[in-house]
Structure 1
Amino acid sequence: MVVWERPEPPSRPALAPLSREAIVRAAIALADADGLDAVSLRKVAGVLDAGPMRLYGYIATKEELLDLMVDAIYAEIRPSGTGWREVLRSLAESTRQAVHRHEWFADLIGGRPQLGPNALARGEAVAAGLGAVQVDDVMPVVGAVDSYVIGAVRREIGERRAERASGMDQRAWQRAFGPYLTRTFATGRFPALATVVHDAAHLDADETFRIGLDFLLDGIGVHLSR
């Protein structure tokens, strides 16, 4: 059949454009919806309507993808303020807010320092904001705040996950276990704990975080004033 008579082959769709930024955005969307277990290069490729092998031209391993995801979230953490206390409070609160937007982030912060461009920009903003603090105190002070925040948000996220797994919110959990605590405290074996549970103010997560952070910042202030 001559060329003029030969039918043209079916048209093939153009390959979807790719970039590391697009890959990371898709991975974050998967993690936000269904947790880190939902993230794989194959699933990300499916979201982007691309073959998995195409992604390897941009990202070599899942570990690299997780590093890029973490660094993308660091772009949301931009401490600000005047003076060391405002900067550290802003650091703590903005980190907590980022974790509550991206629950999976609580599983990946901590450990070795993050060296991506957004993490370094966050570190630069904090170090610059602590300009009056002695250089030898900068890393210990920031480390103390980071440790407090990481511990606090992991507890909060753990409670949120437990609620989802059990189907009981905090009030339902208290109703379920309240009678047990009443019987246990009635034995007189835990008088100090019973007093705290019965008489102390019951704070919500926001208040607990703020007061704990105030305790830490007050201690840092004492150290810096020496």
Structure 2
Amino acid sequence: MKFKLDKEKLINIELIKVEEDLHQIQLKKEILLDKIKESSALRNLLFEKGKLLEHAIHLALNIIGFEVSYFDDGKSEFDAVFTSEEGRFIGEAEGRDNKPINIDKLRQIALNIHEDLRKEDVVEPAKGVLFGNPYRMLPIDERNEPFTEKCLHSAIVSSTALIFTPDLFIVAKYLHDNQNKVFAKRCRNAILKKSGRVLFPEITKSNSLIFTEAKEE
């Protein structure tokens, strides 16, 4: 150190400061990348299956105003248990590469609801919800009807709500970008009240956003 020039010492001090600044910038970058990853996870509602799809469903339900959790006690496993002031729901998720969603998961949902009802703290059956992402390898606008006719009819008989996950993406994306408690409540009610395929409130634009109920098929 005794042989260093004064100017060299000053430059070293500046270098240390720059390195500290770079470290802080890198930390900020990592935080932003994590936020991007979390935000982009919603898009898994469009093209994923399995755990990625389940996680995206949980994110979307949280955005709409539900409290969401998995359930696994070693004996029973539910993809999603979610609650709000409107009610309590049990959901199953299925993604298929090139086929529509059939009735297979409806039986699983019925078993889950029965198993859930056996708990001492549960006094009434939960509402069943099947989240489907069919034809996931195809562009959204090239996909056929997401649920088979048999699945649609069986869902009505069993009072099960059927949700096409790209439909869920549309309302979750809107609510992620715009706080609208009234619209969120209408989305929750759409799930509660519907047996068969759920049609969420439509988002339309004029001078301002106007929300109208989608016409039922």
Asked whether the two chains share a fold, i.e. TM above 0.5, the reply is no
Structure with the largest fraction of helix: 1
TM score, norm. by length of structure 1: 0.26
TM-score, length of structure 2 as denominator length? 0.27
Higher share in strand: 2
